Structure 1
Amino acid sequence: MFGSPKTKDLTAHQVKAALDARQILLVDVREPAEFAAEHIAGAVNVPLSSFDPKALPSADGKTLVLQCGSGKRSATAVDHCRKAGLVIDTHLTGGIMAWKAAGLPTVR
């Protein structure tokens, strides 16, 4: 859509570095069962099925980064944030699949 802001895509390694530097709050928008089965250490779970942008946890000055399984749901969550008037526009491109493909660890 013309004039629509672009979602900022971060790679798995960019997210890992930012997590390690405590610069981001990673929000996993997958469903609770998916999150419980496997997630990125430090991520918090806010499922897309009940997603309310205004109820997102405080990032305390950090950049809030959205994440899902492949990047589709997190991009949808970014769109919900925009529609709610929030400046939350960053997600992990490729989601946890890209994270694992990059050889990065998960919590099971």
Structure 2
Amino acid sequence: MGHGQGERRDRMGEAIAMENSLVKFFSAKLIQSRKALLLLCLGVFMSITGAIATRTVFNPSIELAAFNFSDIPLVTVAELRRSPAAQKLAFIDVRTPQEYQRDRIQDSFLVPISAIEQGSGVEQVRQIAAQNPHSTLVLYCQRGPRSYRAYQHLEKTGLNFIVLSGGITAWRKVVLE
């Protein structure tokens, strides 16, 4: 057996060990939602491809700690449309200016996730909230992950936020403006 085959076998062994580690990690947490299952699949894929391609290993305790989905208030498009409070919503798009230019929810405000993570966007969101004092702030991106990150940065402000589950992709399946 050549040196390359032995190294590949070692990498595959690392990937399999990481997959087993991920399964144990999620089993211990008693997979509570479809999001956790999706993250499990993503983690397994990342661990296998990462271990083979770059010999890096996905560490679920570090990578997934950023997303405690049970703490993020999600709302679906259908729930928003049925809600009597639907008239008192202020949508905040956390995507890039280019994405916002191509498509956005009508009357939404652009506050890119990059600005929120740098701190300047937090002040923009406070101003939007001040201009819309009786509104619930709805964070959205393309499908959800950037909105989750934005929520985690903004939840300390004490403002009333919800995250649009599925982002503008879900919105466009139901609402045509």
Cα separation, 2, equivalents of 1:90 and 1:46: 15
Higher strand share: 1
Alignment of structure 1 residues 5-84 onto 2, 5 Å? 6-17=71-82, 21-51=86-116, 52-56=121-125, 57-58=128-129, 59-82=132-155, 84=156
| Residues matched between the structures, number | 102
Q: Which residue of 72, 88, 98 corresponds with 2:170?
A: 98
Report the CA distance between 1:20 and its aligned residue: 8.3
**TM-score, scaled to structure 2:** 0.51
Say which one has the larger Rg.
Answer: 2
User: Which structure 2 segments of 5+ residues have no match?
Assistant: 1-64
> What is the Cα-based RMSD across aligned positions, in Å?
2.4
* 2:111/2:124 contact within 8 Å kept: no
Counterpart of 1:99, as a letter, is W
Higher helix share goes to which structure?
Answer: 2
Q: Which has the higher contact order (CA 8 A, sep 6+)?
A: 1
TM, length-normalised to structure 1: 0.79
The alpha-carbon deviation at position 61 of structure 1 amounts to 1.4
Q: Relative to structure 1, is the Cα distance of residues 29 and 77 closer, same or farther in structure 2, using a 3 angstrom cutoff?
A: same
